[in-house]
Amino acid sequence: MSDAWFAHKLAPDGDTTDGCHPDEAQALKSYLSGSSTSSQAAQAITKPILQSPDPNGDLPRLWSLIADALLELPPPTVLSLIALIRAIEALPPPDFSSLSEANRPAHGQLWRTLPGFGHLWADDYPSLRQWAYDGVSKTAAEREATIARFTRRAEVEARLAREGLAGFPMHWGYECVADALEQSSSEAEVEIPVACKWIQIASEKFREGTERRESSWGLERKRDLWDGASNGQMSVERWSFWIKRLRELEADENLSGKVRDDVKECLGSMSK
């Protein structure tokens, strides 16, 4: 693990008052270097919150450390970080009854679903469509870097949603895929790789939703290419439409080879 990355998290912009707790950083660093188990790391990384006079005020720093690690550290660490989240969620609920209401975690009882983590994640990391359609021109390098970042984000979200962790909902996946495949205005080179990552990782969850006609706010908005029922439900018809659209994109020679390869892999995961 990079010492510079952890040093920055301790003192962003050189200011230690904005950084995470040193014990949180050390716990994460030791875990990712193989010096502790996920259970041991979960206890160590949450200890500063348990000892804090203001868990509500300090919790966002821990959540930010974990969120940044999920997105910024080398890709092979993602699975280890998800195992850490699972271990944190398995910790017994702390007793903050001696603290005032204002100092207790505002989003609910710790640690199941990491209360407040999903809100921080959504607030700190704008959506792909916000970036794609903000009216600001991007260089090729900027676009490539952003696509990589959003694809990594999709991997994290899909893995956590698939495992039922951190309170991450499948609604995000439904919205991402529908935005990419159900409307003609989608920017294929940008949105398709991200949607494919969601499908590849969470294909089983999507199929389960299809079988039980799951309702999702991510499917409620009407999009021009989908002429089926706009009742916010997943269905066999919708799943078949997604496959049809992906096959069209796989054959689209105007798309880059990288995107078409992503689509091919995605279609393979849908047929399993």
Long-range contacts for 27-35 (Cβ within 8 Å, ≥24 apart)?
28/65, 28/66, 28/69, 28/84, 29/1, 31/80, 31/84, 32/1, 32/73, 32/77, 32/80, 32/81, 33/1
The tokens for 107 are 């989003």
Amino acid at position 70, single letter:
L
pTM: 0.93
Contact yes or no for 59/96 (Cβ under 8 A): no
The helix or strand, by DSSP H or E, that contains position 143, with its residue range, turns out to be helix 140-163
d(CA 146, CA 237): 32
d(CA 233, CA 98): 45
Instruction: Dump pLDDT digits (tens) for 48-103.
Output: 999 999 999 999 999 999 999 999 999 999 999 999 999 999 999 999 999 999 99
Question: Which burial class, exposed, middle or buried, applies to 170 when counting CB atoms under 10 A from its CB (0-12, 13-18, 19+)?
Answer: buried
Instruction: Dump pLDDT digits (tens) for 107-157.
Output: 999 999 999 999 999 887 666 666 665 656 678 888 888 888 899 999 999
Residue 37 has pLDDT above 90, yes or no: yes
Amino acid at position 29, single letter:
K
% of the chain with per-residue pLDDT over 70: 93
d(CA 99, CA 93): 15
Is 93 strand, coil or helix? coil
The tokens for 21 are 């707790």
